[in-house]
Amino acid sequence: MTDAKKQAALDYHAHPIPGKLSVELTKPTASAKDLALAYSPGVAEPCREIAKDVENAYLYTGKGNLVAVISDGSAILGLGNLGPLASKPVMEGKGVLFKRFAGINSVDLEVDAESPQAFIDTVARVAITWGGINLEDIKAPECFEIERALVERCNIPVFHDDQHGTAIVTAAGMLNALDIAGKSLEEARIVCLGAGAAAIACMKLLVACGAKAENLFMLDRKGVIHSGRDDLNQYKAMFATETDKRTLDDAIDGADVFLGLSGPNLLSAEQLKTMAANPVVFACSNPDPEIHPDVANTARDDVIMATGRSDYPNQVNNVLGFPFIFRGALDVRATAINEEMKVAAVHALKDLAREPVPQYVLDAYELDALEFGRGYILPTPLDARLLDRVSAAVAQAAVDSGVARKPFPSHYPLNSVDEVYGG
């Protein structure tokens, strides 16, 4: 970013008041009568009802539409481990997206924990207060055990966004991009740079969607993850292949897909030039991708190029997933976000990209036209149809797969966030 853009980003966060979110009241508080309902003595009545039956918390408090966004700051975007407090702008940002796109209230928690167990215990002890937990920017491999333990200990959906939100959006975009390239996921040779939270989850979901394990090459800082390595954790080991390829140069030669979930500027124009015809490049590291779109597009005119950023075409970013996945899960009071719900979200996203783009989206992106093709593989976050399409698909999958505690919502389809509480 230019210095001017950096300053604009700081000004945006600082003015007119610090931060991006505030709390609003939903009930009148103008009179003594109002206060006697909101606080003492009236507040005692819902307390008594919740003590009788915990389900009443959904009736008398904001729990059912409240998601906690929780981080330890150990993998903030692609910036690395900057500690919990430095993650707060991102966590507030996730809260903005929850509210703006799905009408979900959120609270951000930045946890200064000395160990994964301390993090797990801290979150588990306060989990009853929310309708769901969105874990964010927690590095691998610790994130896997943290999520597993919290799923086990909490009876609300616990979802590590960098794993599953990213994987869902990546799989949807990948299916479309490969289709446009005239290739199939089953046959594509895929190189994934990065072997952390996002990379492992993306590869798992791509395999579940049809990619062949023998066509995948995953790399970490030490190079290709192959079966001769003795330094692999159990999550990386799942992707170890029998190969003599050792470096990105070796793996990228002839590959159909490059998926970057690692760090900035790690794929060169020269390496891109060695990829197969119509290469699909998802350079998803934020804020700076593995290869800049301008560099990629200059290197090859047949590249299908995506990044995690809002300021270039083809944004492959979990913003397209987590708001709507939680919307659907909360609305049927799902106890978990399971594989069926994730796959339903993949298909809802993939299919929506093939429909005509509304005029307000064109206006927001200052474009005359946008249609399914190389420059438009996924809907944009500002497409209001995402709210209904993805949330409804997720809610239906939750009902069908038996994790919903409420039926499919009678107030769906959702046309806007003003409708999330029903009629």
Binding site for ligand NDP (CB under 6 A): 75, 77-78, 139-140, 162, 166, 193-199, 219-222, 261-263, 266, 284-286, 308, 316-318
Distance CA 127, CA 155 (A): 9
Beta-carbon contacts of 207 under 8 Å, excluding residues fewer than 6 positions away, are 213, 216
User: 139 vs 212, which CB is nearer to Mg ion?
Assistant: 139
Shortest Å distance, C-beta 164 to ligand NDP: 10
List the catalytic residue out of 63, 94, 183, 350: 94
Nearest distance from C-beta of residue 318 to ligand CC(=O)C(=O)O, angstroms: 5
Binders in 162-191 for Mg ion, by CB under 5 A: 162
> What kind and span of H or E run contains 110?
strand 105-110
Rank residues 172 and 197 by Cβ distance to Mg ion and give the closer one: 197
Find out whether 163 and 183 touch, Cβ atoms under 8 Å. Answer: no
Peptide bond into 413 cis (omega under 30): yes
400 Ramachandran zone, left/alpha/beta (phi>0; psi -120 to 50): alpha
273 is catalytic: no
Q: Which of 383, 384, 378, 388 is nearest to 412 (CA)?
A: 388
163 binds ligand CC(=O)C(=O)O (CB under 6 A): no
Which residue's CB atom is positioned nearest to ligand NDP?
196
User: What is the 8-class DSSP label of residue 226?
Assistant: B
Q: How far is the CB of 196 from ligand CC(=O)C(=O)O (least distance, A)?
A: 10
Cβ proximity to ligand CC(=O)C(=O)O, 309 vs 347, nearer residue? 309
Site string for ligand CC(=O)C(=O)O, 317-346 (x = CB under 6 A): xx----------------------------
Indicate whether 308 belongs to the interface with ligand CC(=O)C(=O)O (CB under 6 A): yes
Q: Which does 220 bind (CB under 5 to 8 A by kind): ligand CC(=O)C(=O)O, Mg ion, ligand NDP, none?
A: ligand NDP
Residues 263-299 as b/e (b if ≥16 CB within 10 A, e otherwise) read: bbebbbeebbeebbebbbbbbbbbebbbbbbebbbeb
Residue 98 near residue 323, CB atoms below 8 Å: yes
Q: Is the dihedral of CA 375, 376, 381, 384 positive or negative?
A: positive
Residue 66 per-residue DSSP state:
E
> 5, 6, 39, 421: which is the annotated catalytic residue?
39
By CB under 5 A, the residues from 101 to 140 that bind Mg ion are: 137
Single-letter amino acid, residue 302: D
Catalytic residue list contains 39 = yes
Distance in Å, CB of 134 to ligand CC(=O)C(=O)O, minimum: 10
Catalytic residue numbers read: 39, 94
Q: What is the binding site for ligand CC(=O)C(=O)O (CB under 6 A)?
A: 77, 137, 161-162, 286, 308, 317-318
